[in-house]
Amino acid sequence: MTMLHTLRSLPSFRPGIAYVLDTLYLSPTVRSPAANTMRSCRGPSFASRESGIAPLPTSRTSQNTSIAADSGFEPLPVGAEDPTAEELAALVDEFYASRTESLGSMGENDGGVVFQGQGDPLAAVDVVIETVRLVAQRRNGIAFRLNTLGLCDTNDIDLLLSSGVLARGDVDQRRETRIATVSVFLPAANPNKYAELLQPKDGLGFSDACSFIVRLAEAGVNVECTAVARPDIKVGEVKALATSLGATSFRTRSWIG
């Protein structure tokens, strides 16, 4: 049974709240602080109008795209509510209970769980925090990754940092269930290009994303920054900016024209 078939067979699954690529992805909300997304910055192949939603890469490193029929990635049905933390935690528990392949003695073969969907997970930061807490009560050693634009106000950053769900420092926490990495999409190294590509809303923008990275990095959180190797972007400048802000790693996402 494929991961997608497994996911769709779970009692807590409903369309629009989770999908699979190389691991399990959770979609906590459709809300976003920007008009555009990381996917829309990756090239014309991500602007499919036939499916009604931009496709996804088949994995973090792939040049190939995956449509909803392959990954289960789709928007919430019209009128459906965003998932609750209880729903998402139950789904994670059921997903791991159904897995038959070996994850390794220390979970080294486990890709963990990723927060990333149609919206930005930090637009539902309370749901993200409570989901991790609930999963931690049931299972040890699950590494979450939070993919975000980092566009949020100081209250949300304070809530995230004080929640206790973020792994910090160099301590080996493989036996604990935590958000092991926060991955921030940083599409450009200057405010004007950033605004052009993402079109942030509600008065948020480039400086807010930079402040988000700095605050988490200073708190000892493992922050990764990513950018797309677009023809109109100098990725080296974005990497230099990310490093100066305190990011511990940088990854280039492929341009799919």
Are the C-beta atoms of residues 245 and 217 closer than 8 Å to each other? yes
Distance, CA of 42 to CA of 252 (rounded, Å) = 11
CA torsion sign for 59, 60, 66, 68 is positive
Digit-coded pLDDT (tens) for 159-217: 999 999 999 976 555 568 999 999 999 999 999 999 999 999 999 999 999 999 999 99
Distance, CA of 118 to CA of 138 (rounded, Å) = 27
Q: Which residue in the block uniquely carries the two structure tokens 């036996």?
A: 175
Higher-confidence position of 67 and 129 = 129
Q: What does the pLDDT average to over 133-141?
A: 95
For 122, residues 6+ apart whose C-beta sits below 8 A from its C-beta are 33, 128, 146, 148, 149, 150, 151, 152, 156, 160
Q: What is the pLDDT of residue 43?
A: 83
Digit-coded pLDDT (tens) for 54-74: 455 544 444 444 555 678 888
Q: What is the value of pTM for the model shown?
A: 0.89
Digit-coded pLDDT (tens) for 223-254: 999 999 999 999 999 999 999 999 999 999 98
User: Could you tell me whether strands 65-66 and 249-253 are parallel, antiparallel, or unpaired per DSSP bridges?
Assistant: unpaired
Per residue in 28-41, is it b (16+ CB within 10 Å) or e — as a string?
bbbebbbeebbbbb
Are the C-beta atoms of residues 179 and 145 closer than 8 Å to each other? yes
CA distances to 30, 49, 109, 142, 229 from 127, rounded to whole Å, are 13, 30, 27, 17, 32
Are the C-beta atoms of residues 228 and 204 closer than 8 Å to each other? no
Digit-coded pLDDT (tens) for 27-54: 999 999 999 999 889 887 765 544 444 4
Instruction: Return the H-helix or E-strand segment holding 98.
Output: helix 85-98
